[in-house]
Amino acid sequence: MTYLDYSATTPTSDEVLDTFVKASKHIGNPNSLHKLGVEAKNLIAASTKQISDILGVKPEEIIYTSGASEANNLALKGIELYKNRGNHIITTELEHSSIYGPLNYMTEHGFEVDFVPLKDGLVDTDKLNEMITDKTILVSISAVNSETGIRQPIEEIGKMLKDYPKVIFHSDITQAVGKINVDLTNVDMASFSAHKFFGIKGIGALIKKENIRLEPLIHGGKSTTIYRSGTPTTALIASMAKALRLANEKIDDDISKVQKLNDKLKANLKGYENVYINSNEYSIPHILNISILGVKPETMLHALEEDDIYISTQSACSSGNISKAVMALTHDEKRASSSIRISISAKTSEEDIQNFLKSFDKNYQRLVVKK
C-alpha cells in the first residue's frame, strides 16, 4: 500500500498505541480521591506537562477535547462571553469546515464575519489591520491550510494583533502541529488533533491562554479544566503526549526528509502539460496540491486506488467537486474543480514516491493524453 493521505489522518504509531494500552490499565477516575484516582491524575498531569513544554504554554492552558473540530467550536462559540465588547469576527477563505460551521451558526446569533483578502494565499496583514474595528473581538486564521499546505505567518499576525488588546487571536494549528515548529507566543487560542501526528482519533486540545475566558460547550463538573466537562480520558491524553513527543523530537530532520520527497514529486509532475502545481512557496512540504486539467479528481483518485495508492481530492469535510481553497488561491474554476492533494510524512519512502509517479504517469496517459 502507498499511503499519501497523511493530512487526512495518520496511522496510529505502535509506540503511541502501546502507551494507550498501558495507560488504560490505570482504571481510576482522575477525579476520585483514592489512590487509583490519584495515579490517573498524576499520569494526566505528567502528560499535560509534556505537551505544554513542547508547545511552550502553561499546563493549565490546555483544554482536552475530542479533536480539533470540537476545539474550534469551543474557541469560536465560547467567545460569546465577550459579546458585550463587540460582535465582529475576521477569518480567511482557507479555513476548515469546523471554523465555517460555528461562524455560520454565530451569524444567526448576532455576530458579523468578514474575510481578510489573501495575497498569493497569504493573509494580507495590512488589510487585516485596516479591517479591525472597535467591534472586532476575534480573528481566526489557520496556521496551515489543509488542502494547499499554505502556511500563514501566525507569529507575525499575532504580534500585530497585540496592538488591539480587545481582539482575541485564534489559530487552527491542526495541520501544523507535529509537522512544523509553531510559536504560540502571540496566539491566544489554538486548536489541534492528535490523529494528524500519528496519535489516536478522538483526542485533541484547545490551547487557551490564561487571560481568556470561554463559555464551555459542555457544561458540568470540573474535568481537567472548567471549560470542558466529562471524565478525563487518561489513556487518550497520555497517548497524545507520546505522539507529540515522538513527532517533535526529530521534527527538523523530518522536515528535510519530507522536503526532498516533495521536491522530487514536484520536479516530476511539472513535466506534464495539463498539471498545475497549486501549492506554492509558502506551502509546507507535507502537502502538495495539483490540478490535472481534463480529469475529474475522483477519477484520478480511484484510478490510483486500483494500484493501492491513496491520495485525497479535497478536504474530507467539504462537499461537491470544487476546492474552495484552490479557488481562493488561483481564482481559476478549472483548477479548483480538478485538484488533488498528495500529503506525505517522514514515514513516506522513496519507493512510495516512485509507486505514485509510475501509477500517475500510466493513468495520465490513459485519462488525459489518450482521451
Residues carrying an active site annotation: 317
Strands (E), 117-246: 118-119, 122-123, 136-140, 168-172, 189-193, 204-208
Question: Shortest distance, CB of residue 86 to other proteins, whole angstroms?
Answer: 15
φ, ψ for residue 287 (rounded to 5)?
A: -125, 125
DSSP 8-state code for residue 229: -
C-alpha cell belonging to residue 292? 490535472
Question: Shortest distance, CB of residue 141 to other proteins, whole angstroms?
Answer: 13
> Residue 95 or residue 254: which is nearer to other proteins going by CB?
95
Bridge-based pairing of strands 62-65 and 204-208 is antiparallel
> Residue 69 or residue 223: which is nearer to other proteins going by CB?
69
- Among 121, 149, 122, which residue's Cα sits nearest to residue 6? 149
Contact call for residue 124 and other proteins (CB under 8 A) = no
Q: How far is CA 366 from CA 100, 342, 370, 371, in A?
A: 38, 20, 5, 7
CB 229 within 8 A of CB 235: no
State the burial class of residue 322 (Cβ atoms within 10 Å of its Cβ: 0-12, 13-18, 19+). Answer: middle
> Residue 84 or residue 319: which is nearer to other proteins going by CB?
319
> Residue 240 or residue 292: which is nearer to other proteins going by CB?
292
Which 289-328 residues touch other proteins, going by CB under 8 A? 317-322, 324
How big is the site for other proteins, counted in residues (CB under 8 A)?
Answer: 21
> Residue 96 or residue 257: which is nearer to other proteins going by CB?
96
Question: Shortest distance, CB of residue 97 to other proteins, whole angstroms?
Answer: 4
Question: Shortest distance, CB of residue 280 to other proteins, whole angstroms?
Answer: 20
Which 75-114 residues touch other proteins, going by CB under 8 A? 93, 95, 97, 100-101, 103-105, 107, 112-114
| DSSP line for 78-125 | GGGGGTTT--EEEE-SS--HHHHHHHHHHHTTT-EEEE--EETTEE-H
> Residue 322 or residue 368: which is nearer to other proteins going by CB?
322
> Residue 59 or residue 101: which is nearer to other proteins going by CB?
101
Question: Shortest distance, CB of residue 31 to other proteins, whole angstroms?
Answer: 35
Contact call for residue 337 and other proteins (CB under 8 A) = yes
Question: Shortest distance, CB of residue 284 to other proteins, whole angstroms?
Answer: 21
Question: Shortest distance, CB of residue 215 to other proteins, whole angstroms?
Answer: 20
CB 121 within 8 A of CB 150: yes
Bridge-based pairing of strands 2-3 and 118-119 is unpaired
* C-beta atoms surrounding 199 within 10 Å: 31
Q: Rounded to an integer, what distance in angstroms lies between the CA atom of residue 111 and that of residue 36?
A: 46
Query: In the complex, which residues of this chain contact other proteins (CB under 8 A)?
Result: 93, 95, 97, 100-101, 103-105, 107, 112-115, 317-322, 324, 337
